[in-house]
Amino acid sequence: MITRNIVGEQCLRYYYYFTVYDKLDWGQHISVLIKSDNTTNNEIEIDRPSAVGMVENRWHPRNITFNSISANYSLMFRFEVTNINRTIDPALNKTIYFALDNIELYNRNCQ
């Protein structure tokens, strides 16, 4: 979670990684949200990278322009696997790894 104190157009840049097995979609995705510190349960999703279309394990860049909703907000990243990752033989289960790197926020458009 990152806390900021600014309103208006902003640029979020980051790299993400998660495990992809044999081009299968286990429902792995990252939800990127901003939450106003002035209200409760007011989360807005600004990005949602997923495994759809991924064919290899590697770092992926993201550049997201968004408008902050209040002067004080928190930036949150949630890692999720939504498809069941269990088989009849537990030895065949897969581990999904998630990672983030180089998270940067700028007070401008990402263009």
How far apart (Å, rounded) are the C-alpha atoms in residues 41 and 35? 8
| pLDDT band at residue 39 using 50, 70 and 90 as cut-offs | low
Q: What is the CATH number of domain 2-106?
A: 2.60.120.200
Mean pLDDT of 93-101: 86
- Lookup: tokens for 62: 């993201």
Closest CA relative to residue 37, chosen from 75, 78, 83? 75
Is the confidence at residue 32, as pLDDT, over 80?
A: yes
Is the confidence at residue 86, as pLDDT, over 70?
A: no
How far apart (Å, rounded) are the C-alpha atoms in residues 104 and 25? 28
Confidence (pLDDT) at 73: 83
DSSP 8-class letter at 88? S
